Structure 1
């Protein structure tokens, strides 16, 4: 089945709103794993407005499934990743003032920079994933620079699916097939939810992992965290 990695940034946002340590992101990560989650994802940003860099260090000590750290590979981020050595690093081209990720890498324009970063991570035994738009040229570029996986940016699909346009999934299926053919694994994330995840999973081949945070935590407000994770796992089988 496709693995579910739960992004816990929103838990950190709630914690930071009161300036204390509740809810505790370490305990929530443990509970997610206990409830069947197959990975923990964090995406620290330079301003540490949700997940803090220290959280990533602390989580490394307790995560027993797969630990995925996402972010823009600025010097501080890379230094942290190379010390922690998570299961996977997902490189995302975040602008410093971005509210959330809003575009994939241009793997042709940034080929030298990305190749150097990927090479350094792989030398340290870290699986590398490149966040890309559903564009075959970007997928080909990711393969040329040595990425282990791509993560397909799924906001366009989610928006169109909500409008009833199921054909919006076709570029994702095409890119996933190409990535697999080129020897890369396929991940996906951004605005995937209980509403659209089953259709996406059924339509996109070779889907190894989805990373879901905002929707899952929002849905858990109504359904509870354990029940929500169970529903995702059922839809991903």
Structure 2
């Protein structure tokens, strides 16, 4: 059956000499893989440019439940996102975040709130003229709400270290190997509580940024089965050193 749906490109891989398999998070069907035949041929080269990470698409697709790779009839951009790919910081951010999403978005079912969150974050990142140094931390903390392991935000002077095993703040005397330090825990609490408009009010130096990022990724690894090391982690850490 033919359907229309919006989609967010996660990644693509070459298939054969001229085709692509594109992984897309769709508004109507959740994460799906689509075969794009002939997209890398000389005649259709422009078509392959539609399938870059975080491109926002309007799609006409053939969908069959239980099928591993779906078919795509028509596709176009819903809007042009120039800054994501001509700005080195933003393009690096896209590389990192799409790798994370490719690992954690596994369910083939619709989640309207998650789709809207991703769509709005992508548009914000493209249009933002301020520093994006904290954006990936904001994105990762807010994403946990949709992945089922949003933590208990019980931070206080007494409960001042973040327990990554249990997703809550504990007393320093109860800290263990999977706890963040006090300063990083307070920063993490601020990130969970902030709005995107106030994100740059949180001041983080490069050393703390790295510690908080490693803590958040460890939290993901402890809470999300199969979440493994990220190839793009070294690149984004170097970017904000």
TM (norm. structure 1) is 0.25
Q: Which has the higher helix share?
A: 1
Which structure has more relative contact order (CA 8 Å, sep 6+)? It is 1
Give the alignment's TM-score, normalised by structure 2. 0.25
